[in-house]
Amino acid sequence: MIKWQRQGPALVGTIQLANSRRGKVVLTSSASGASRGVMAVFPVAGGQSVTTATLDDCMNELTPAQVTAILCAQERAFGSGRLPPLEAP
For residue 81, count CB atoms less than 10 angstroms from its CB and return exposed for 0-12, middle for 13-18, buried for 19 or more: exposed
Query: Could you report the per-residue pLDDT of 37-80, keeping only the tens digit for each?
Result: 888 998 887 777 888 888 888 888 999 999 999 988 988 888 87
Give the max Cα distance, the chain: 43
Burial 13-22 (b: 16+ CB within 10 A, else e): bebebeeeee
| Predicted structure pTM score | 0.82
Domain boundaries, the chain: 4-78
Gap between the Cα atoms of 20 and 40, Å rounded: 14
